[in-house]
């Protein structure tokens, strides 16, 4: 177990924001957490769990003890009559896991290709894209209690998944570190194609029965066309959640703006495209300080070079106020703001 002092976090968050961790510990196994908790002066210190840094906005230095999750390994943990259970370490790259499952003949995660971040962070956010969410393929996970050091296994019901939400953003926020996640990948795979961008790909190519690898390639191409590479332009992907509204609210908005992009949800409600709302308010391509709105996708905020966390916050608040003023909808920020 490594304990480092005065570590710059600029390369550990994909927005590229400046911040320094007073102390950083690299966690490669459950036992590392237990050893840490036994250390005088560190065991009881406030802690912050850091994965790939792709869903965090740092606005200050970190006096907390930063736990960098680096648990590795991908394997088939078990098989059932209807599924393969694939397990991955919390420190593995999410996209690398998706590619691994396809390379080894276990489709099911392809719609979520190229989402930045780590496997361990994925359940926290209940990540999703192009008609599929993590909870649709989730089996269970292992986590370590950051107070007692006890390892626990949680199933889907215990994780309390919601839209970009889970128990790890609620009751267990800051209290657990996810070390391994298991996914239930169906033996009888069926494509998930009911998303507009994928329907366009089918129409463009004439391929209306794509296999999993084709969907993976399509999703990668769509994301690369819309979203900036964090290695080139600092960003955290989608900055705001797509708002959920009632059918009545949706009708009211359509009456004022017939072109609003919306999707029906189970239960009769609708999901609105936050990027469309932001674009309609004229924010695409705009800049505040060194933080800006991406020219190709208004849902993405970017680092124009040298941005600091407070500039990102100022831009985000201005967008929220603008959207609320026009549509009466309060956009919720998706990444964790520290």
pLDDT for residue 154: 98
Name the token pair of 91. 């420190």
**Residue 226: pLDDT band with limits 50, 70, 90:** confident
What is the average per-residue pLDDT within 101-119? 97
- pLDDT category at 257 given cuts 50, 70, 90 is confident
What angle, rounded to 10 degrees, do the helices at 212-226 and 94-103 form?
A: 150
Strand spans (E) along 187-338: 235-238, 244-245, 262-264, 270-272, 287-288, 291-293, 300-303, 336-337
Q: Please give the average per-residue pLDDT across 79-99, as a whole number.
A: 97
Query: Over 80: is that where the pLDDT of 52 sits?
Result: yes
Provide mean pLDDT across the span 157-185: 95
Helix residue ranges per DSSP H, 160-295? 196-205, 212-226, 247-256, 274-280
Burial of 41 (0-12, 13-18, 19+ CB in 10 A): exposed
Cross-strand partners of 184: 85
Phi (first) and psi of residue 188, to 5 degrees: -95, 85
Catalytic annotation, residues = 164, 238, 334
| Span of 5-14, 140-149, 264-273, 305-314 with lowest mean pLDDT | 264-273
The residue-averaged pLDDT of 46-74 equals 95
Mean pLDDT of the chain: 95
Measure the CA–CA gap between 62 and 58, rounded to whole angstroms.
9
In the structure encoding, which two tokens stand for residue 168, read together?
A: 């790890």
Tell me which residue of 250, 237, 262 sits closest to 335, measured CA to CA. Answer: 237
In angstroms, the CA 27 to CA 30 distance is 8
- According to the model, what pLDDT value does residue 163 have? 87
At 213, the pLDDT band (50, 70, 90 cuts) reads very high
Q: Measured between alpha carbons, how far is 4 from 274 in angstroms, rounded to an integer?
A: 40
The pLDDT of residue 265? 85
pLDDT (0 to 100) of residue 146? 95
pLDDT one-digit tens code per residue, 265-303: 888 899 999 999 999 999 999 999 999 999 999 999 999
pLDDT band of residue 217 (cuts 50, 70, 90) is very high
Mean pLDDT for the stretch of residues 218-240? 93
Q: Taking Cα atoms as reference points, which of 272, 286, 263 lies closest to residue 330?
A: 272
Give the pLDDT of residue 194: 87
pLDDT at 28 over 80: yes
| Amino acid 87: pLDDT | 98
> Within a 13 Å sphere around the CA of 321, how many CA atoms are in the beta-carbon half?
6
Q: What is the pLDDT of residue 41?
A: 86
Strand-pairing partners, residue 257, are: none
């Amino acid at each position: 177990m490594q304990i480092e002092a005065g570590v710059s976090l600029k390369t550990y968050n994909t927005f590229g924001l400046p911040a320094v961790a007073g102390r950083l510990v690299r966690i490669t196994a459950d036992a590392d957490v237990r050893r840490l908790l036994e250390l005088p002066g560190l065991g009881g210190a406030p802690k912050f769990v850091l994965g790939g840094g792709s869903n965090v906005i740092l606005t200050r230095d970190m006096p907390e003890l930063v736990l960098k999750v680096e648990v590795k390994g991908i394997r088939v943990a078990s098989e059932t009559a209807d599924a393969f259970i694939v397990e991955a370490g919390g420190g593995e790259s999410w996209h690398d896991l998706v590619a691994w499952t396809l390379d080894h003949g276990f489709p099911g995660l392809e719609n979520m290709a190229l989402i930045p971040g780590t496997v361990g962070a994925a359940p926290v956010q209940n990540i999703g894209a192009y008609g599929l969410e993590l909870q649709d393929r989730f089996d269970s996970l292992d986590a370590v209690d950051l107070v007692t050091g006890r390892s626990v296994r949680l199933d889907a019901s215990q994780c309390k998944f919601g839209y970009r939400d889970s128990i790890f953003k609620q009751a267990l926020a800051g209290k657990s570190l996810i070390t391994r996640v298991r996914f239930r990948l169906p033996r009888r795979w069926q494509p998930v194609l009911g998303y507009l961008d994928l329907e366009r790909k089918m129409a463009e190519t004439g391929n209306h029965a794509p296999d999993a690898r084709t969907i993976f390639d399509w999703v990668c191409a769509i994301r690369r066309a819309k979203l900036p590479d964090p290695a080139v332009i600092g960003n955290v992907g989608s900055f705001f959640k797509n708002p959920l509204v009632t059918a009545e609210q949706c009708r009211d908005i359509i009456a004022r703006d017939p072109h609003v992009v919306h999707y029906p949800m189970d239960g009769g409600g609708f999901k609105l495209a936050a990027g469309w709302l932001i674009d309609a308010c004229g924010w695409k391509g705009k800049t505040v300080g060194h933080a800006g709105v991406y020219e190709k996708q208004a849902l993405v905020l970017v680092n124009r070079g040298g941005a600091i966390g407070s500039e990102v916050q100022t831009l985000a608040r201005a967008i929220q106020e603008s959207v609320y003023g026009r549509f009466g909808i309060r956009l919720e920020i998706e990444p964790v703001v520290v």
